[in-house]
Amino acid sequence: MGDNISAGAEDYDFILVGAGSASCLIASRLSQQLPDHRILVLEAGEHYRNDPKVQTPGLSPTLQSDPAYDWGYSTAPEPGLNDKRVKHPRGKLVGGTSAINSHSVVFPNYEWHDRLAGELLSESGRADWSSQGMQDCYSRWQAGSSGPRVNDDVGFLDRVQTSYPPTMDVLQLQWIKAFEELGHATSTTGFAESSAGAVTVTNAIDSSKGERSHAGTAFLEPALKRGNVTLRTGVKVDKIAFDETLTADGKLNAKGIRYTYHGEEHLISARDVILCAGVFESPFILERSGIGSRKVLAAANVPVLYELPGVGENLQDHLNCGLSCETQDDILTRDEGLWDSEMKKAASLEYERSRTGRLAEGPAYSFAFTPLQMLETPSETQQLTEIVKDSVEGETNPSLRAQYSVIQKTIESPSEATATTFLVRSQRHRDTESLPKGTPPFVNGNFVTVIAMLAHPFSRGSCHISSDPSHQPEIKFNYLSHPLDTEILARHLLLIERLFQKPTFTAMTKPQGKRLPRTFPFPVSSLEDAKKILPTNAATNYHPSSTCSMMREDLGGVVDDGLRVYGTKNVRVCDASVLPIIPRGNILTAVYAFAEKAAEMICREVKSSVRLD
């Protein structure tokens, strides 16, 4: 096998790089459906079993930026956000970011899937990736409070537990009412055709225990008990090792993975390699392995094995911006919990005693799918659709033109969200850096905050290997670099302001009450006002995606419709990096569903090759 393979020359059928959300699910499905195959999962972080900080839903903010749990990525200065460096927490533990995120379960829509399949993929992948082909994939990974269902083919499936809030408070109930008042009945919370309106979503919390349910506990723990899955932690993968000769059809054949552990280099061989290292690390590993843009690899002194310019490009994220209003004195919010140490202590005691109370819940359950048409005049809508049409027609890059055409259809549809809007039952500050030093972090009072998250941004960034490959990747999102993002997000701030003026909200808020952000504490009365607020107050929703996009190669894709890296025979990628256009809401549901599809394809392939043999 070659003498540079580490002693013990282990041989696996599959190596999964990373033990994040997608990897844990794939390991679970393969271990169950291919019991005679050996699966190795390599994770650079640790496996925290029964860690109260991870388990307690209300402690998720403390995990982010704690180097024990978070890789602590940060962007280059972002010109569109006043040159701020934006922190991007990613999970440094088994379960990946599903083990440190803030739990909300928000689904994409049918139209998004159908357009990705029809407009960005070759014909062979359209049936698999259409909304119809993906329906089961969105239901298989989760079990609602009613408990898991049985699938006859595979017996009990490992699933993430999801639950609704234990009780609905005034703000959550009024949220639904506010949209009904606009003529939009509550829409469905699951994977479905788009309809405008408010929803109460589930969170990835096991309500029977009051604990976070994440990919590590839901998928990998049961898989490890089956005996055909091995987990190795503290292992940072250097690169994929390829055979020196190409396959008969001219492709690179991966023979395994090189990694360093305690200063020693190892090579583990495998029949198939599946990169699930996340949106920043998967392209980074491909580049270190010699797959990527010639220019990027030359700058890092890496020999090119296959030129694939899309690697690390097309980076997207949900940018959001919100407004807060002070509530009437009889409407309590979560604000006291921000500064009242007695209340914090009481919440901790309640959670310790009964696994209930604030610490047993996630921060956000109240969402709405908001097309701008909901509160715009027809002339405002027409003006925007014309601006978008001109911009898309003027785009000369074929990949962007294809993607922008997909987004254009969303904007023109009166039922599809141009932003996913959500309610937070407390004040929110994103402008602290723009205020005088020593400004208190919070304002006295109870607040309701409504935040618009730009559903499908036009701005594109990149994530690449630097000239020193041992450093973290260089990350640039180029937030608000495309003028349409400013145009659309500013219009959504106006939509929030118009929502605040409707009877449901005016009944809950003080007529002359305090307003946030502190850098603009007034009602937003014009599009110009709204645009000025963005560079100081817009923030990330922590949903980076698309650096190894599943698209046709001529459109700048990195993986094909089987999630195989172009130019390779046996390297796949499956994590948030393969989503070619970011979906409308929190991306974890799509990551799990894409992982379900990956496992389905792999099992189908293995079983058909066995039949051929």
Q: Which residues are annotated as a binding site for FAD?
A: 97, 237
* DSSP structure string for 479-495: TT-SHHHHHHHHHHHHH
Cα gap 26→49, rounded to integer Å: 20
Token pair for 115: 């357009």
DSSP string computed for 176-192:
HHHHHHTT-PPPPSSSB
Q: Which helix (H) or strand (E) holds 535?
A: helix 527-537
Rounded CA-CA distance 479/318 in Å is 9
Among 418, 419, 415, 439, which Cα is nearest to 429's?
439
> Which residues contact residue 304 at a Cβ distance below 8 angstroms, ignoring those fewer than 6 apart?
290, 292, 294, 297, 298
Q: What does the alpha-carbon distance between residue 574 and residue 571 come to, in Å, rounded to a whole number?
A: 10
Asked if residues 449 and 427 have their Cβ atoms less than 8 Å apart, the reply is yes
Beta bridge partners of 420: 369, 453
Residue 449 token pair: 């905050």
How far is it, in rounded angstroms, from Cα 392 to Cα 402? 9
Which of 381, 389, 392 has its CA nearest to residue 416? 381
- State the binding site: 97, 237
Determine the Cα–Cα distance for residues 412 and 378; give it in Å rounded to an integer.
Answer: 12
52 three-state secondary structure? helix
Cα distance between residue 119 and residue 14, in whole Å: 31
Q: What is the dihedral of CA 211, 212, 215, 217, to 10 degrees?
A: -20
Q: Which residues, in sequence order, are CB contacts of 345 under 8 Å at separation 6+? A: none
* H helical segments located in 355-415: 378-393, 398-412
Contact 576, 545 (CB under 8 A): yes
